[in-house]
Structure 1
Amino acid sequence: MKQHKEGKAILACVYVDDIIYTSSSKEMMIEFKRDMMKTYEMTDLGKLHYFLGLEVKQDDEGIFVSQAEYLEDLLKQCNMNGCRSEPTPMVYNLKLQVKDDSGHTDGRQYRTLIGKLMYLTRPA
């Protein structure tokens, strides 16, 4: 949602039951928040810190976005939180086989991991 008023603008993004908003005018933000809280039952959580896997830091220099915490959580879920990076993450020239005596693999867990990695590495 975008609203203009005398050369000033407010931008509000809604995701399920979360609202993130910003404006070129502090007065417009205060008015928007007051009107929303009058109309809907809601809680003001203050400045944005974390949203949809994005860590947000705001200061006088600007707004900085990182996915470091999302990545740390993903590594913990995969029991890889102590891992080191490798230029080639598997054995070089390994011949993969359908039957290799490695046991049953959970395809759902693999697809979930791939989906999370795709979310992490998606282009802006």
Structure 2
Amino acid sequence: MKKFGYKQSNSDHTLFLKKERGRITCLIIYIDDMIITGNNEEEISDLKKKLFMEFEMEDLGNLKYFLGFDVLRSRRGIFMNQKKYILDFLAKTGMLKCKPAQTLIVANHGLQTVQDGELADKEQYQKLVGKLIHLSHTRPDIS
């Protein structure tokens, strides 16, 4: 990206910016997905051509879903939500019918260790915790 005149952000190393004549073009990359946006249509088109020459890739058009966010457009603007991400998470954990609660666990529950109890699936647990961490970063109201 540097050879195309883009500068890497110090706060997010997956974000690259190019500013010219009061216009800006942004590229953000996450593993094998990327978003290109900005107010410089000519630069966006040029960047896409350069990237297509360097990499095997496909232009999926307007952004619809990225990292758990649904992106919706209307005359009033662009709206983002995580409804699908959260519903998929609740379905995977068997909690689709759960109700909101003020606390995460009943006070004075009296948790106990069960001898010879069945261990939880470590990988499944790590995936679920990762999804919760993602939600806590993107939804501070529920963190």
Asked if TM exceeds 0.5, the reply is yes
Percent identity of paired positions between Structure 1 and Structure 2: 34
Pick one of 80, 95, 98 that aligns with 2:95. 80
After TM superposition, the structure 1 = structure 2 runs for residues 20-31 of structure 1, keeping only pairs within 5 Å, are 20-31=35-46
Q: CA RMSD in A?
A: 2.5
> For structure 1, which runs of at least 5 residues remain unmatched after alignment?
none
1:13 paired with 2:34, answer: no
2:18 maps to 3
The 1:43/1:115 distance shift into structure 2, 3 A limit, reads: closer
TM (norm. structure 1) is 0.79
> For structure 2, which runs of at least 5 residues remain unmatched after alignment?
1-15
* Structure 1 residue 106, shift from structure 2 partner: 0.2
The 1:95/1:47 distance shift into structure 2, 3 A limit, reads: same
1:48-93 C-alpha deviation (Å, 9 max, x unpaired): 1111112222333332222211111111111122322233444343
Point out the more displaced range, 6-15 or 82-91.
82-91
Pick one of 115, 118, 125 that aligns with 1:104. 118
The aligned amino acid for 1:37 is F
The aligned amino acid for 1:66 is N
1:95 maps to 110
1:119 paired with 2:134, answer: yes
The 1:89/1:2 distance shift into structure 2, 3 A limit, reads: closer
TM (norm. structure 2) is 0.70
- Bigger relative CO (Cα 8 Å, ≥ 6 apart): 1
The aligned amino acid for 2:88 is D
